[in-house]
Structure 1
């Protein structure tokens, strides 16, 4: 599996509690913060849940 870079591009204000918890679990605490994770099924599922708040790029 490859790696993906996840960047928070929209504010968590107004998001559901579970979506805020998902951002915390991904390691995204502030706007424009970026983390890298392995592209596992669990991480990809979390990204789908907050896809309107984040930008995802494949790391080469």
Structure 2
């Protein structure tokens, strides 16, 4: 089960991904690390860490472009 911070972050990042017309193909919780992984578009992976990743910006999460 994701943490409240992960759920909020996934909602915000999912909103922004779809606002940029990126289809969301997969949302999955990594069983080992408890991180939430979102695969969107052809080359975008969004990772929300279990520990409540905090970034200096207004949106939390990590982005990787390129699979």
TM normalised by structure 1 equals 0.34
Higher helix share: 1
TM normalised by structure 2 equals 0.31
User: Greater CA radius of gyration, 1 or 2?
Assistant: 2
